[in-house]
Amino acid sequence: MWKPNEAGAPSTGPAAEHARTSPGPTAVESAARSAVTASDQAIISKGLVITGEITGSESLFIDGKIEGSINLPGNRVTVGRNGKVAASINAREIVVMGKVRGNVSATDRVDIRAEGALTGDVAAARISIEDGAFFKGGIDIRKLEPRSAAPGIAVMATHEAPKLAHS
């Protein structure tokens, strides 16, 4: 690793090193990455394989391979073109440009892009499936509940069965 106090060391930082060793991102990946600033998003690059549980408090861009579960409530999970995910995903927003096998749950929306493939059930307030995308599974559209309503009242109202008269 380069340190500023080393004599004769190159003056390139990690960003320049990454740009030099990897080909430029596609327009779709650039758009996905520019939506969230670099300091607010973690990146799992093409060569990485992770098995297990991922949790945290920042958005995630996946171009590698993940197996297990991803739990990032309140954040965005983007599966890049090279990304292969065999995991359940729970996040505020989920964008699929690669391959996902597993159930996904989003408090806001799920977006399956033209080059994306999702095999599994989706639970979200909104879903978008572009032409050319692959999807196999069930969809559960969840309405956003108003924050002023008491949760106990909503549960009681939804579980009451109508009374039928027998004659």
Phi, psi of 119 (to 5 degrees): -115, 110
Cα separation, 3 vs 42, whole angstroms: 23
pLDDT in tens, 102-142: 999 999 999 999 999 999 999 999 999 999 999 999 999 99
What pTM value is reported for the model? 0.66
Cα separation, 125 vs 141, whole angstroms: 5
The pLDDT, as a whole number, for residue 150 is: 47
The pLDDT, as a whole number, for residue 40 is: 80
